[in-house]
Each structure stands twice: as structure tokens, then as C-alpha cells.
Amino acid sequence: MNINIRNEKPKDYRRVEEVAREAFWNLYFPGCHEHFVIHKMREHEDFIRDLAFVIEVDDQIAGGIFYTHSKIVSEENKEYKAISFGPVFISPEVHRKGLGKELITHSIEVAKKMGYLAILTLGYPYHYEPYGFLGGKKYNISMADGKFYKGLLVLPLYEGALDHISGYAQFSDVFDVTDEEVNEFDKRFPYKEKKYQKSQDEYEAAVTLLDD
């Protein structure tokens, strides 16, 4: 298996959206919206083009990772620039081969070299703790409602990056999409059935889990 990680190029766009759609379909709710988010993200002011990577297996795109600007807003309304990744995905055809790990590790190393402060992301702690992410509570970083959730994960990108910084995480509005927008965009792809699966219940429970 020949693996290559490189920056996304315009010629990759459609293939990347297809792979993302396959990876997320019915995972968190019936259907998915990540392929549309990626499509919209590329033209958004928060998009970080230098941190948009695809991973190829034998010259075929098998996954991708995308970053946007985010911030930590303090009680005094001071803003500290951070970055966030998502969507990140691997084609179901090549799951459990360590490709996601290679993609995330590569992108984190590039982000460190680019001098960013910290990465904020939302996800399952067990997915991201191996990379050094910890719950936001550890750094006194909450969601906008002031609550600490287990799914808000934070990684400082250099020693002491978050010393004396606290507040709430604010993510890009590129993720705010409507069902109507997604459904219209989805007409560009072959029909897939939207349905319930157990992972949707796990996700529903995970997103509301508080870090007490």
C-alpha cells in the first residue's frame, strides 16, 4: 500500500466530496452534511488552504482533513486566535489501516511549524487523546454556553501556549448549514438512502456529555 499525503488541489474537489459523503453518510444522523461543508468551506474567509490535506492510497484519494480559523474568547471579550480541524475522514474501504492517524499527525506538525497557538476540535475524546488533546475543562475553555463538554478537545501547539488564557471556544460559521442547502447540493450525487443506525444514538449522547 503506497501512501502519500499532500495539499488538496482544485482537481481533487469532487473526489474529496464523494469520499467525505461515503464516510459520513448516516453516521451522526440520517444522511450527512460534511461534503457540503467542505464545498462551502473552500470559499470561506476562515478556510486555511495550507492545512487542507488529502491522503492517497496507491494514487487514489482515500481521505482528507480541513482546517478553519477559530478563537478563544475571554470574559473580557479579548479574542485569541486558534485553529480547528474538521471534517476529517477516511474512506470506509480503507478503515483501520492507520490512515487517519497519519493524516492528523501530519497536519498537526505542519500547524506547529506555521506558528499557530492551539487546535480546538469537537469529537470523541478517545479519538483525539492519543495526539495530546485534552478536554477543554483542563484549560478552562468552555463552549459558548459556559459549560464544559467532554467533546470539546484542545491541543496547545507549543509549550505554555494557553497559559493565562481562558474563555469559550468560538468556531467558524461555515459549519452553520441548513437542511435545504444540503439537500439541494446532494442532488449532484448519486442517490443514497437516509436511515437510522446505532452510531447516531452514540453521537447524540456524546455531544451532550458534560465534563464534571
Could you list the mean pLDDT of each consecutive 10-residue stretch along the chain, which spans 212 residues?
96 98 97 98 98 97 98 97 98 93 98 98 95 97 96 97 97 97 97 96 90 88
The verdict on whether omega for the bond into residue 92 sits within 30 degrees of 0, i.e. cis, is: no
| Yes or no: domain 3-173+196-207 corresponds to CATH 3.60.130.10 | no
User: Which cell is 15 given?
Assistant: 473526489
**Using CA atoms, how far apart are residues 20 and 34, in angstroms rounded to an integer?**
7
Q: What is the pLDDT of residue 186?
A: 97
Q: How many residues does the chain have?
A: 212
Q: What is the pLDDT of residue 182?
A: 97
Q: Torsion over CA of 129, 135, 141 and 144, rounded to 10 degrees?
A: 110
Q: What is the pLDDT of residue 212?
A: 83
CB-CB contact of 70 with 120 (8 Å): yes
156-186 burial, b for 16+ CB within 10 Å, e for fewer?
A: bbeeebbeebebbbbbbebbebeeeebeebb
**Using CA atoms, how far apart are residues 66 and 148, in angstroms rounded to an integer?**
24
Residue type, 184: E
Provide the residue ranges of all domains of the chain, joining segments of one domain with +.
3-173+196-207
Q: Is 58 helix (H, G, I), strand (E, B) or coil?
A: coil
The model carries a pTM of: 0.95
Q: What is the pLDDT of residue 5?
A: 98
Q: Name the pairing type of β-strands 118-122 and 152-156.
A: antiparallel
